[in-house]
Amino acid sequence: MKKIRVLIAKPGLDGHDRGAKVVARALRDAGMEVIYTGIQKTPEDIVEAAIQEDVDAVGLSILSGAHMTLFPRVTKLLRKRGMGDVLVVGGGIIPPKDALELKKAGVAEVFGPGTPLNTIVDFIEKNVGKKPDVAG
């Protein structure tokens, strides 16, 4: 079976990459191919990388609080570039109310602090390749 390809990306300015790196490594250990962008990527950089790397899923990590501006921009740009079927998930310091809104904007799931790594692995394995429930 083809390996799931995941882009782990850090939009926004914050340099808190602990979570992104731990998740990247867990997905790799779970047999996925993982590409990590490094910090401070714009939504445009991230979508470009997703296209170049032909990924099945994009994991966005942000701890600066700019998620409400930057996550929806990634999902919108992906749709615009014909990559609307890419599974987008997010994590970081994201209050529950914001998480609900992000889901409406096409982020399939938001993983807050304390989420077990297996939960993230399972979610990606189960949902990759499925059309997102929410249309843009």
Interface positions with another protein (CB under 8 A) = 12-18, 20-22, 24-26, 36, 38-39, 64-66, 68-70, 93, 95-96, 112-114, 116-118
Nearest-approach distance from CB 95 to another protein, in angstroms: 5
Residue 58 exposed, middle or buried by CB count within 10 Å (0-12, 13-18, 19+): buried
Decide whether 13 or 134 has the Cβ nearer to another protein.
13
Amino acid identity, position 46: I
Cα–Cα distance for residue pair 54/82, rounded to 1 Å: 12
Measured from the CB of residue 93, what is the shortest distance to another protein in angstroms?
Answer: 7
Rounded least distance, CB 64 to another protein, Å: 5
CB of 49 closer than 8 Å to CB of 37: yes
Kindly tell me which of 21 and 130 has the beta carbon lying closer to another protein.
21
Q: Residue 14 and residue 28: Cα distance in Å, rounded?
A: 24
Nearer CB in complex with another protein: 12/132: 12
Residue 100: count of CB within 10 angstroms of its CB: 10
Shortest gap between Cβ of 60 and another protein (angstroms)? 13
